Amino acid sequence: DQLTVTAKAVGSAKDFLLENMDVAVTLWNGEAIAVRLANTVVMDVVYTEPAVKGDTQSRVMKPAKLVTGAEIKVPIFVATGDRISINTQTREYSGRVDK
C-alpha cells in the first residue's frame, strides 16, 4: 500500500530512503508516526575523494556522499560509483556490493 507520511514521521530514515523502497510504517489512529527501514540498505556512492597513493592503513575512513545526499564514512578503497551496504541503525559502512 502507499500512504502519505510526514517528514517528522520519516525522521533520520530520509537519509537512506529510496523511491519505491519497502519500509515498515507505524500507524496510530490511522496516521503514520514512524518509518523503519531494513537493518541494511544498498546505495550508490555519488562522490568520494580518491584514495591517497601510499595510504594503506586498513582503518582509514573518508566521507562519501550517497545517492540520497546523505554522507557517511567509508574505507579509503571505496570509490565514486561503488555500490555499498550500509547499516541503517548505526549509519556505518557494511561492505561493497557487486553491481
Q: Which domains does the chain have, with CATH numbers?
A: 7-36 (no CATH), 40-97 (2.40.50.140)
Beta bridge partner(s), residue 27 = 32
The predicted structure's pLDDT at residue 58: 65
Are 94 and 86 in contact, with CB atoms under 8 Å apart? yes
Q: In terms of C-beta density within 10 A (0-12 exposed, 13-18 middle, 19 or more buried), how is residue 52 classed?
A: exposed
The predicted structure's pLDDT at residue 99: 80
The predicted structure's pLDDT at residue 51: 80
The predicted structure's pLDDT at residue 55: 65
The predicted structure's pLDDT at residue 60: 86
pLDDT along the chain (99 residues), means of 10: 86 93 92 94 96 71 97 95 97 94
Exposure of 24 in the CB half-sphere (CA atoms within 13 A): 5
Exposure of 70 in the CB half-sphere (CA atoms within 13 A): 19
